[in-house]
Amino acid sequence: MENKEFFAALTDLVREKGIGEDAFIATLENALASAYKKQFDGGAEVSVTLDAEKGIIEFSATRYVVEEVTDKDKEISLEEAQELNPEYQVGDVIVNTFVPNNFGRIAAQTAKQVILQKLHEAERDNTFSEFSDKEGELMEGVIRKIDERNVYVELGDKKIEGVMPPQDRVLTERYAVGDRMKVFVKRVRNNGRNSQIVVSRTAQGLVKKLFEEQVPEIAQGLVEIKEIAREPGHRTKMAIFSNDARVDAVGACVGNRGARVNAVVEELGGEKIDIILWNEDPLAFIYKALSPATVLSVTARGERSAMAIVPDDKLSLAIGRDGQNARLAARLTGWKIDVKSASSPEAQEVLAEIENAETEDEFAEGVETEQE
């Protein structure tokens, strides 16, 4: 079958769409062979070769020389084979090329299906290759569809679809088609038909990237986000550290009149954010982590376990609604924190020990001064 116009159009298409020509032709050859077998209802071993240089499509049928034929589509008797060529022996393979009758319409349909499939795959692969470096980044998108399970967000200029599964949606947020929002690209996977971009509104990375966007000092590396603990839609605690003594880390994140932190809070739908100065001393870090509550004392009570004592009137603030503040402080510091009011027996015992230790230190200092 000679069709130079078909091959010319094929070459232009491959070049224009950036499809790998060899892989494309191999797929088309297999598809044509499969279509032939279906149409002619046979089990013959038919292969198709596309020769772009000559502009021809060649069909080949393979049969094996046997003593006794059990499958006429795949086998030929030794007697018949030797009528074709006396030198044929049992076990030889005979390959005949042919042009199938009445196959033009089927071939055209098959070619069209393969071309459309390859175009779709090429566009998908090209788009995913552009997104391969977007994992862990912040992107703006528009909600295009919502079903019983997922929210689908259109991302970037290529308008590729990102999927937001239930666990990545904030329970306090309401999503509607047409809404524009910023999302965290959680995962990019290109596995053929299972290719998927997963985006999130619950990831801690969303908060981190929003602050990087608002605070130049973070983007420049002058201020570092050390830890984030988050209960999406309710509260986030973020520990930061200044890598430059001249830069006030908390002030940089808060911004003039709270402009920077408020911009992040607004994007998160009013989620409260506690900005805490990180400290390499875990007990000192726990003091700050229980913010906004006042803390009187923090003492270690075992391996990565501590007791925090707060004024009686600050106990509910330190623990937070449903234990949220203490829970987030524990996640942020990596320590188990037992919060006690100052009037509790356990706290009274600890405070007494601290007071006695301070008295002994003052006495020791007084003795040293007298001796001098």
CATH 3.30.70.260 holds for 4-130: no
User: How confident is residue 40, by pLDDT bands cut at 50, 70 and 90?
Assistant: low
Give which of 166, 271, 185 is closest to 229, Cα–Cα: 271
Average pLDDT of span 168-189: 93
List the single range of 28-32, 142-146, 184-188, 350-354 with lowest mean pLDDT: 28-32
| CATH for the stretch 137-198 | 2.40.50.140
Give me the pLDDT at residue 118, please.
67
Burial class (CB in 10 A: 0-12, 13-18, 19+), 152: middle
Average pLDDT of span 295-321: 93
Give which of 130, 126, 159 is closest to 142, Cα–Cα: 159
Give me the pLDDT at residue 62, please.
86
- pLDDT higher than threshold 50 for residue 115: yes
Report for 11-15, 263-267, 349-353: range of highest mean pLDDT: 263-267
User: How confident is residue 371, by pLDDT bands cut at 50, 70 and 90?
Assistant: very low
H/E stretch holding 253 reads helix 249-254
User: How confident is residue 20, by pLDDT bands cut at 50, 70 and 90?
Assistant: low
Domain ranges of the chain: 4-130, 137-198, 203-278, 290-372
Matching CATH topology for 4-130 and 290-372? Answer: no
Average pLDDT of span 306-332: 95
What's the whole-number average pLDDT of the chain?
84
Average pLDDT of span 11-37: 72
Distance CA 142, CA 153 (A): 5
Q: Which fold has domain 290-372?
A: GMP Synthetase; Chain A, domain 3 (3.30.300)
- pLDDT higher than threshold 50 for residue 367: no
Give me the pLDDT at residue 370, please.
47
- pLDDT higher than threshold 50 for residue 193: yes
Q: Where are the alpha helices (DSSP H) in 41-145?
A: 78-84, 104-131
- pLDDT higher than threshold 90 for residue 109: no
**Cβ proximity of 91 and 65 under 8 Å:** yes
Average pLDDT of span 18-22: 68
| CATH for the stretch 203-278 | 3.30.300.20
Read off the pLDDT of residues 47-57 as tens digits, 9 standing for 90 and up. 888 776 777 77
User: How confident is residue 363, by pLDDT bands cut at 50, 70 and 90?
Assistant: very low
**Cβ proximity of 78 and 91 under 8 Å:** no
Q: How many residues are listed for the chain in this entry?
A: 372
Read off the pLDDT of residues 246-269 as tens digits, 9 standing for 90 and up. 999 999 999 999 999 999 999 999
